[in-house]
C-alpha cells in the first residue's frame, strides 16, 4: 500500500528469514503478521502473531521460505524497516531496525514515531 514499486517495504535478514520459516513450519502457519499497537512507555509496541492466512489489506513480503504479513495500519510506520533475529546469552528475539522511529523506551520494548506535521519532532 505505502510501498515504492519494485522495492520491498521491509527487508528480512537471513537470521530472521530462518527463524520465521522455522516458526511457520512448526505451526503450519501461512506467515508471521507484524503490526503495531498503542502501549508501552514510549507510546507504541510491535505486535507479532502467526497467521493462517493473509488478511484484507495485508502487505505480503516473501523471502525464501519466510513470509511476513504487514497489517494495514502498520504499513506506513514499518516502511524501510530491517527485521533481524539475534541470539544472545541472556535473550534471543526479533529486532526491528526502523528508520521511522524517533525514540525508544529504556527497555527497548516500545517506540515513538514522529508526529505528522511537526517536522519530525516526537510526540509528547
Report pLDDT digits (tens) over 6-56: 678 899 999 999 999 999 999 999 999 999 888 766 677 889 999 999 999
For the chain, give the mean pLDDT.
Answer: 83
Output the pLDDT for position 123.
42
Output the pLDDT for position 109.
64
Q: Which of 88, 68, 90, 70 is nearest to 13 (CA)?
A: 68
Residue 115 C-alpha from the chain's centroid: 19
Does domain 10-113 fall under CATH 2.60.300.12? My reply is yes
Least confident of 3-17, 57-71, 101-115: 101-115
In the sheet where 44-51 sits, what is the strand order? 59-63, 66-70, 31-38, 44-51, 111-113, 101-104
C-alpha cell at 2: 505505502
Domain ranges of the chain: 10-113
Amino acid at each position: 500500500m505505502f510501498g515504492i514499486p519494485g522495492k520491498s517495504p521491509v527487508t528480512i535478514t537471513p537470521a530472521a528469514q530462518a527463524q520465521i520459516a522455522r516458526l511457520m513450519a512448526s505451526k503450519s502457519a501461512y506467515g508471521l503478521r507484524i503490526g503495531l499497537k498503542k502501549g508501552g512507555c514510549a507510546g507504541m509496541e510491535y505486535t507479532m502473531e502467526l497467521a493462517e492466512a493473509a488478511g484484507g489489506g495485508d502487505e505480503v513480503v516473501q523471502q525464501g521460505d519466510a513470509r511476513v504479513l504487514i497489517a494495514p495500519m502498520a504499513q506506513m510506520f514499518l516502511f524501510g524497516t530491517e527485521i533481524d533475529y539475534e541470539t544472545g546469552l541472556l535473550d534471543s528475539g526479533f529486532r526491528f531496525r526502523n528508520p521511522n522511529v524517533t525514540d525508544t523506551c529504556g527497555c527497548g520494548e516500545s517506540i515513538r514515531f514522529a508526529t505528522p506535521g511537526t517536522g519530525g519532532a516526537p510526540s509528547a
